[in-house]
Amino acid sequence: MDLKTVIRTIPDYPKPGIMFRDVTTLLSDARGFRRAIDELVQPLAGAKIDKVAGIEARGFILGGAIAHQLSVGFAPIRKKGKLPFKTISETYELEYGVDEVELHVDAVRKGDKVLLVDDLIATGGTASAAIRLLERAGAEIVLCSFVVDLPELGGADRLRKMGKDVVALVSFDGH
C-alpha cells in the first residue's frame, strides 16, 4: 500500500497556494493506519525507548498508538495553557508572531530516551521547540518520526542540523 494514496490533499487551505496534506483520511483507513504505525515503529527495532512524545494534536494519535506498540509511556506536548499541572515551556517563531508549547515537569525523566512523533514536518518550528523542551527536561531524543515530510520547507533538514535523526514515511513536493 502506498500511504500517499490515503492522505488527502486539500488545495488552498488554510490560505491560497497551500496544499494541505490531511492525514485524517489515513487515520480513518484501518490498513493505512496500521501500516503507518508499523512503519514508524520499525526503525526502532532493538533501540531502547522510554517514552514517546507526541505533538498536539495528530501527534497524540500516532504517538499513543506507537507507545502502545512499544509498551512505553506517552508524553503530550501541548500548546500553552492546555496542561493542568506544572509545566515547562518553549517559545518558537511562526510566520507572523510566536507560539509556545508546554510539557508537564514530570512527563519525562533525566536520561529518558524519547521518540518524538508528529503527523507532518514542514518548517520544523514546532518540532524544534519540542526538541528543546524535551532536552531541557533531561530527555535524549532518539528519533524524530513523521508521516509526511514537505522537504521544500526544510523542516527535516533543520532538525538534522540540530543533530537529530529524522524519519518520514512519505514526502510531498510543493506545499
pLDDT tens track for 57-84: 999 999 999 999 999 999 999 999 999 9
pLDDT tens track for 25-65: 999 999 999 999 999 999 999 999 999 999 999 999 999 99
3-class secondary-structure state, position 136: helix
Q: Which residues are catalytic?
A: 58, 95
Count how many Cα atoms sit within 13 Å of the Cα of residue 70 in the half-sphere of its side chain: 29
Q: For 124-144, what is the mean pLDDT?
A: 98
Q: How far is CA 26 from CA 105, 129, 151, in A?
A: 32, 26, 20
For the ranges 74-78, 93-97, 132-136, the lowest mean pLDDT is seen at 93-97
Q: How far is CA 172 from CA 72, 93, 126, in A?
A: 31, 24, 19
Cβ-contact 145, 170 below 8 angstroms: no
What structural domains and CATH numbers belong to the chain? 47-171 (3.40.50.2020)
Note the pTM of the prediction, 2 decimals.
Answer: 0.96
Cα 40 to Cα 132: distance, rounded to the nearest angstrom: 22
Transcribe 26-78 into DSSP letters: HHH-HHHHHHHHHHHHGGGTT----EEEEETTHHHHHHHHHHHHHT-EEEEEE
